[in-house]
Amino acid sequence: MPKKKKRSYKETLNYLFTLLPMYQNVGKKAMKKDLKNIVALCKHLGNPDQKFPSIHIAGTNGKGSTTHILAAILQQKGKKVGVYTSPHYRDFRERIKINKQLVSESFVVDFVEENQKIINKIKPSFFEITVAMAFAYFADKEVDIAVIETGLGGRLDSTNIINPLLSIITNISLDHTDMLGNTLKEIASEKAGIIKQGVPVVVGEYHKETASIFNKKAKELLSPIYFASQHFTTISTVKALTHSIFNVYKNKRLYIKDLETDLAGKFQAHNFTTIIQAIEVLNEQGFGISEKDILISSRRIASSTLFIGRMQTLGYHPFTLLDSGHNEGALSKTIQEITKRNFEQIHFVLGFVKDKDISKLLKFFPKNGKYYFTQADIPRALPAKELGKEAKKFKLKGKVYETVAQALEQAQSEASLDDMIFVGGSTFVVAEVV
């Protein structure tokens, strides 16, 4: 009997994208209400999740930035660092990397091929397969440590089978309320699900409304808990759209001066507050991360980790910025930041997904902007015509374009050299441009 022909990398991706439930295509239908599948997958693989040290990161906003900042610092210490994030922008392999090197195409192909039987048997989601693949890859390559970002929530997230050295919860705001809950307390309860027995947890921001949730969970599990914002404050001294410089204070005393980073956005100050607290906790475990390590690595986070999609500069004449922030907490800060600048005109290439309450997002956009309403090439995209109609209620004026490429091309043709073009509203809109 002739041997079955192995799938190509392109065919493997097509299989993963079309035959397995994928969140970007079907939304919450892809979410599983338990961890049975990921446990079964990892058991089949020989429990790779137990074969490398890890740091687990959850949160509504900032978890992607925090993941990459921490990875850059650990790499500066000479560590072989695995990074798992989601979603991807241009290439599926962005989800799984070691010291910025993407997982190989051959590993992806072989992993799916070798595990086809169990995939057929348990019918996991796309996310479950990618998490299992990441864990297998990190174990196979014997990473010194892996920084693992949750997908949604925490408690029932497929990544939540690891037993990390440290858990980090960046912050809490309203997002994915159809799956995580309608209040900050409900969402905090889901995020608190990553706290493990005896494992220290750093919570980036202290808020009265949610602190009791985290304190209770940590107390139950005898986990030391640190609210970063109670100990550290990070203040921007240079507020550019291409980079940032911060001063970090510990208990109101200057702790790190002129911390320069290639990441833009005032919101990165919150992420560095979380990071500095996390490093103190890691140093108690013997990591030996110095101020010099932080200063050197922070200047080249994007280049050393291949971090893309957040306040990323795409061009200069006109200044073109893209950002994947897509909820109230993220978008409000980003729009506030760019509207403070002295551009003649801001052109907004904008698209959202169907399951967002866009009325809560459109209120942040300026009425004097010029809008190009569009839709990403995914089933979950909100049709551009619907977005255009809703935007009129907020007195946002613009035209509708069937594709992101058409919208951006039109914005570029209309923008003067002193204008700004902003691309955002959805990770998937940004993914078509980045």
Nearest to 390 by CA among 401, 402, 382: 382
What average pLDDT does this structure show over 286-314? 96
Residue 39 in contact with residue 132, Cβ under 8 Å? no
Predicted pLDDT at 259: 98
Domains in the chain (CATH in brackets) are: 9-305 (3.40.1190.10), 312-431 (3.90.190.20)
Instruction: Compare 30 and 279 and report the one with higher pLDDT.
Output: 279
Residue 103 in contact with residue 86, Cβ under 8 Å? no
Predicted pLDDT at 380: 87
Residue 311 has pLDDT above 60, yes or no: yes
| Helix (H), strand (E), coil (C) string for 413-427 | HHCCCCCEEEEECCH
Residue 434 has pLDDT above 90, yes or no: no
How do residues 359-408 score in pLDDT, each as one tens digit? 989 999 999 999 999 999 988 899 999 999 999 999 999 999 999 999 99
Question: In the structure encoding, which two tokens stand for residue 146, read together?
Answer: 């892996």
Residue 102 has pLDDT above 80, yes or no: yes
Average pLDDT, the chain: 92
Under the phi-then-psi rule, with left for phi > 0, alpha for psi from -120 to 50, and beta for the rest, what region is 287?
A: alpha
Tell me how far apart the alpha carbons of residues 241 and 235 are, in angstroms, rounded to a whole number: 16
Is 123 strand, coil or helix?
coil
How do residues 168-206 score in pLDDT, each as one tens digit? 999 886 544 444 546 788 888 899 999 999 999 999 999
Instruction: Compare 430 and 22 and report the one with higher pLDDT.
Output: 430
What average pLDDT does this structure show over 216-245? 95
Predicted pLDDT at 21: 56
Predicted pLDDT at 31: 54
Predicted pLDDT at 32: 59
Tell me how far apart the alpha carbons of residues 193 and 264 are, in angstroms, rounded to a whole number: 30
Residue 285 has pLDDT above 90, yes or no: yes
Predicted pLDDT at 2: 53
pTM: 0.92
Predicted pLDDT at 30: 47
Predicted pLDDT at 54: 98
Residue 412 has pLDDT above 70, yes or no: yes
